[in-house]
């Protein structure tokens, strides 16, 4: 089997939450241990700046928060290259050449960009950097020769666009220089973790998340506030399991599936109170998040070490990107002085 190269990343716009954990971080931990697999994890600060130009401080602070989250859950810089997008000058250089292969109307048709443009209310003032970020993302992916890109469903159009760029580039310059990546979607069941309010996915903007760095009290308060069955008023009332966030979480995080099934039956019958269930979930979540939080607090004491790790990862990443860029320029015939 040939080697798998994995490139994935996150926009640093805040700390990571349980939704990130279930949707992608857990999977990365598995991939990290796979044989014949090399993984790059990029903190996409440049991409985050494309719609946060006026608030760089938020992005800068989130860079270390996200790095801490990675390390706390067990991403190991000795096995996985963690790097910072803005420190790899070859990425925007690649983007420069790819931009010539993508029409404005093709970008306008990108469903994720379309939807984001609507929700962000840029009006007539769409930042060019934001509009073109799918091309920058194609540079991120191809610079490392990524064969697999594990991302959420919303990133499908980005991978599709990257594949088009790869095909066009290789055809026009008549060489198999770039690698066409495959998307790796999270397993259906874990697609998107619902927020504590039951309103769609967990997200910072909806303020319905449990963070990897939350204190024991924050975790408990959030679980006690969780959306259950609004018609389950008295303990004796029959309750509904479907759409009940506490059960959704027990299904995912409770290792004792049999007990969860019998709790569901009991709840449906009536006679099982929400508080009892929430206490059970709280115990599970506290046990799961405690070691992560403690590790995070320890690591957070030494910011210098975090930057050092990112610097080393970025140096390693730059070498790989430089090789790809050299091949790209050679294929295009613009390697004037190295002929
Ligand atoms: N767009 C991704 C997100 O919003 C972040 C990202 C940037 C990314 N470049 C990437 C993901 C390359 C995978 C591959 O989460």
Tell me: the pLDDT tens digits for 247-282?
999 999 999 999 999 999 999 999 999 999 999 999
pLDDT at residue number 1: 61
The DSSP 8-state label assigned to residue 24 in this structure reads: I
140 lines ligand 1 (CB under 6 A): yes
20 lines ligand 1 (CB under 6 A): no
Per-residue pLDDT, averaged over 313-321, amounts to 98
d(CA 12, CA 61): 8
Q: Tens of pLDDT along 28-46?
A: 999 999 999 999 999 999 9
Q: Tens of pLDDT along 63-109?
A: 999 999 999 999 999 999 999 999 999 999 999 999 999 999 999 99
d(CA 96, CA 175): 19
**Number of alpha carbons in the 13 Å side-chain half-sphere of residue 117:** 19
pLDDT at residue number 255: 94
Average pLDDT, the chain: 95
d(CA 39, CA 74): 14
pLDDT at residue number 38: 97
Range of weakest confidence among 29-33, 118-122, 147-151, 300-304: 118-122
334 Cα: distance to centroid of ligand 1 (angstroms): 29
Beta bridge partners of 282: none
CA-nearest residue, atom 2 of ligand 1: 10
Best probe residue, ligand 1, of 5, 50, 137 (max atoms within 8 Å of C-beta):
137
Q: Tens of pLDDT along 135-163?
A: 999 999 999 999 999 998 889 999 999 99
pLDDT band, residue 200 (cuts 50/70/90): confident
Which of 19-23, 123-127, 140-144 has the largest mean confidence?
140-144
Atom of ligand 1 nearest to the CA of 136: 9
Q: Tens of pLDDT along 158-194?
A: 999 999 999 999 999 988 999 999 999 887 665 678 9
Per-residue pLDDT, averaged over 54-70, amounts to 97
Q: Which residue has the higher pLDDT, 302 or 206?
A: 302
Best probe residue, ligand 1, of 13, 19, 42 (max atoms within 8 Å of C-beta):
42
44 lines ligand 1 (CB under 6 A): yes
9 lines ligand 1 (CB under 6 A): yes
Region of 37 (left: φ > 0; alpha: ψ -120 to 50; beta: rest) is beta
183 Cα: distance to centroid of ligand 1 (angstroms): 12
82 Cα: distance to centroid of ligand 1 (angstroms): 14
Best probe residue, ligand 1, of 8, 111, 152, 156 (max atoms within 8 Å of C-beta):
8
pLDDT band, residue 120 (cuts 50/70/90): confident
pTM of the full structure: 0.94
Length of the chain: 339
Atom of ligand 1 nearest to the CA of 44: 7
144 Cα: distance to centroid of ligand 1 (angstroms): 14
137 Cα: distance to centroid of ligand 1 (angstroms): 6
Best probe residue, ligand 1, of 23, 140, 145, 149 (max atoms within 8 Å of C-beta):
140
d(CA 9, CA 87): 14
CA distances from 298 to 60, 292, 302 (A): 20, 10, 8
pLDDT above 70 for 326: yes
> For residue 99, what are the contacts with CB-CB under 8 A and spacing of at least 6?
132, 135
CA-nearest residue, atom 6 of ligand 1: 9
Which of 141-150, 191-200, 231-240 has the largest mean confidence?
141-150
pLDDT at residue number 189: 62
149 lines ligand 1 (CB under 6 A): yes
Per-residue pLDDT, averaged over 220-233, amounts to 95
First to last CA, the chain: 34
> For residue 164, what are the contacts with CB-CB under 8 A and spacing of at least 6?
102, 106
């Amino acid at each position: 089997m040939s080697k798998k190269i994995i490139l994935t990343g996150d926009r640093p716009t805040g700390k990571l939450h349980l939704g990130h954990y279930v949707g992608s971080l857990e999977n990365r931990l598995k991939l990290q241990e796979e044989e014949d697999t090399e993984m790059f994890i990029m903190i996409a600060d440049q991409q985050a700046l494309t719609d946060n130009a006026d608030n760089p401080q938020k992005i800068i602070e989130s860079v270390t928060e996200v790095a801490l989250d990675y390390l706390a859950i067990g991403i190991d810089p000795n096995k996985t290259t963690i790097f910072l997008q803005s420190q790899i000058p070859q990425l925007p250089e690649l983007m420069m050449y790819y931009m010539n292969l993508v029409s404005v109307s093709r970008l306008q048709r990108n469903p994720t960009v379309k939807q984001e443009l609507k929700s962000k209310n840029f009006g007539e003032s769409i930042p060019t950097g934001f509009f073109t970020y799918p091309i920058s993302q194609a540079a991120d992916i191809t610079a490392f020769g990524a064969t697999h890109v594990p991302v959420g469903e919303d990133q499908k159009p980005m991978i599709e666009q990257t594949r088009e760029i790869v095909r066009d580039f290789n055809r026009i310059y008549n060489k198999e220089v770039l690698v066409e990546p495959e998307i790796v979607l999270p397993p259906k069941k874990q697609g998107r973790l619902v927020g504590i309010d039951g309103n769609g996915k967990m997200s910072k903007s909806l303020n319905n998340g449990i963070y990897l760095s939350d204190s024991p009290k924050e975790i408990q308060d959030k679980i006690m506030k969780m959306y259950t069955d609004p018609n389950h008023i008295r303990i004796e009332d029959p309750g509904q399991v479907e759409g009940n966030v506490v059960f959704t979480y027990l299904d995912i995080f409770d290792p004792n599936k049999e007990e969860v099934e019998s709790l569901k039956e009991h709840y449906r019958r009536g006679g099982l109170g929400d508080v009892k269930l929430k206490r059970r979930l709280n115990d599970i979540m506290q046990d799961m998040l405690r070691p992560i939080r403690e590790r995070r607090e320890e690591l957070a004491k030494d910011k210098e070490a975090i930057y050092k790790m990112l610097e080393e990862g970025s140096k390693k990443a730059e070498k790989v990107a430089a090789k790809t860029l050299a091949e790209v320029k050679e294929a295009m015939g613009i390697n004037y002085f190295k002929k």
